Amino acid sequence: MLSSDYGAEIKRIKERVHVLEEEVPPNLDQIVQQATEQASIATTQAEISTAGASTATTKAGEAANSATSAADSLVALQNTVQVRATRSNSKTASPVNVGSVGLIFAYLDSLTAGTGTVGAGTYTNWRKYFEPVLRGRFGDTGPGWHSFSTTTAADKSVSFGATSMTSVTLTGTFGTYSLDGFGQYRAPGAAGVGNMDWNFNQKWDTARVYYLKQPSGGSFGVRCSNTSDASITTVDTSNIDFDLGFVDIAYTGSGAVALAFRNVGANVCIFGAFFSLTGVSPIGLVSVAEGGRKLSDVAAQNSSFRQKWLTAFAPTHALINGGMNDRGTTNAATHYNDLNTIVTDIQSVLPACNITIIQSNEPNDATGSASAINFNAYTAQKIALAELKELSYVDLRDALGGGYATANSKGLMLDGVHPNDKGNRRIARFISDHLGLPWLQKDPGKTPSPGSGSGAVPIPFGTLTPKRDVLNTVGFPTGTAITLWTLGLGQAFPTALLKIRVDVTRFQSPVHTLREYYVRISNTTVSNTVTNVGQITDTQIFKEADTDTIATDITFSCVIESGKAVIKVTPVTRNWNSYYATCEWSMRSTVNGIQIQEN
């Protein structure tokens, strides 16, 4: 434990055991005895001869049914008592000394990933309450792992756009090699190239991009969005065998700089990136979860690759909460084997990793259904595995005060399976207590990107990278366009007004022209694109001719090319020898952070 107050912990553990003991009826022995006697009497009645007596036959049938019901009640009661006794007495059920905290892998389904409807304000998970606890204890240690998917983008407030790319799924193409069942890929033989942008407003210094090395793998380019293709890093993913590859990209510039992937070829799979701060050991939660996910599907992933990911990230802790979506089809023995597969992979490469097996909160399954029978049987299997592998074990029913009926009566359930926001807050504190993390320390928040202001609000104005070039006497010939900026906007229907100034001169000449342009660009819902260019105004600020009275001039254009706003200027009348261009922008956007990207 991180806390040194062991006396308080022991007291809390005893109180929890006391609560569990109170749930067992005080007259348990009497109830069991009465149930046994009723079963015996009913069985005797069922054995009465029914020959020639229809009335006796009917009574015998009723007696037999009573006997079966009484016997079932007795077994159910004994099982309940056994489970509660196991939960109360198991040495793995209490908080343990989990050691120093680094990365924490959190598996596996919507009980970790979250559920609900964002627009209705019901979307919730326990992670949103747990992550501030980590920052309160250790400070902001960087953004951490971002898998490239719409799910992660929504979870982490990322502006994400991709063209000619396909999402990885856990049970689909390349999913067996993925850490969390997410990523983006292009299939073998895919025509053309793909592009992708990943933009969010939180400080990072290095992005380690993870991709799949594979036979006949294609190539891709990656750079920061505020740099040109001249600085792009090209990655060849071809390899003699399947392996996990990575490339490091350094943060440049200021503001919410996106990772820009360009010219993604066929047969390429890019999983995600780990964003870190220089000189800071990463401490944080890595979600390895998705709503609807089955433990059996995670266990079936490539074991060698699971170990590669574990080796690369070296988590100090793993929280495994899985099986809720398996309960309708997977029996207890298979559940044990699936859990053991994941645990064995972790321990084989990280023997010091602190693994916690988590018993899920209880669902509202019909009594006697296959789902209810399997779910109830999972508890003993989880405890048995924890005992065998010397793992820790916690039961989320303890966090919610009991089973579904109790949790629902306390207003802690969103539906028949998922806790609501109040319930998830309790679970976050329950897990924090288990890991010995103090609950009430102030959260410093996420550190915004340098120069971008707070990441908690939209950024309404800013400037683009100035463009400047000075050539020799040859200069820029008339009629040849020069591209200044290629721009994309974020999602959620942003609109930006651009104020652009272009200053041009001739070599060893007083010829000088300065023009100012205003142009409006807007977008719909696909990140890093522009769908409309509005009115353009052109104002001559200054113009001076040469001794021959001929002055150089400028034509300006802003058009959509490949989903981007491309801004160009072209010399007219006479060629230029130098130019200098600046751009100020202002924007209406409901999305946090900077929502304009240079490509």
> What pLDDT, on a 0 to 100 scale, did the predictor assign at position 179?
97
CA–CA separation, 428 and 432 (whole Å): 6
In this structure, what is the dihedral angle of CA atoms 102, 141, 357, 298, given to the nearest 10 degrees?
-110
Least-confidence region, from 142-156, 247-261, 314-328, 558-572: 247-261
97-141+281-452: CATH topology is Rossmann fold (3.40.50)
Amino acid at 158: V
CB 571 within 8 A of CB 552: yes
DSSP assignments along 37-97, one per residue: HHHHHHHHHHTS--TT-HHHHHHHHHHHHHHHHHHHHHHHHHHHHHHHHHHHH-TTSS---
Q: What percent of the chain has pLDDT over 70?
A: 75
Residue 93 has pLDDT above 50, yes or no: no
For residue 332, the SS3 value is: helix
CA 7-12-14 angle, to 5 degrees, is 95
3-state helix, strand, coil in the chain (%, to 5): 30, 30, 40
Question: Residue 19: pLDDT band by 50, 70, 90 thresholds?
Answer: very low
Whether 354 contacts 397, CB under 8 Å = no
142-280 topology per CATH: Jelly Rolls (2.60.120)
CATH fold of 461-598 reads Immunoglobulin-like (2.60.40)
More confident residue, 356 or 463: 356
Q: How many CA atoms, within 13 angstroms, populate the side-chain half-sphere of residue 102?
A: 12
Helix, strand or coil, per DSSP, at residue 29: helix
Kindly list the domain boundaries of the chain, sorted by start residue.
6-89, 97-141+281-452, 142-280, 461-598
Give pLDDT tens digits for 26-49. Answer: 344 444 455 445 545 444 444 433
pLDDT at 553: 77
Give me the count of residues in the chain.
599
- Report pLDDT digits (tens) over 104-138: 999 999 999 998 765 556 789 999 999 999 998 88
Alpha carbons 407 and 420: distance in angstroms, whole number? 10
Give φ, ψ of 216 to 5 degrees.
Answer: 60, 25
- Give the pLDDT confidence of 496-522 residue by residue, as tens digits: 999 999 988 876 666 778 889 999 999
DSSP string, 345-410: HHHHH-TT-EEEEEEPPPP-PPTTSHHHHHHHHHHHHHHHHHHHHT-EEEEHHHHTTSSHHHHHHT
Confidence band for 430, pLDDT divided at 50, 70 and 90? very high
Is there a contact between 579 and 503 (Cβ–Cβ < 8 Å)?
Answer: yes
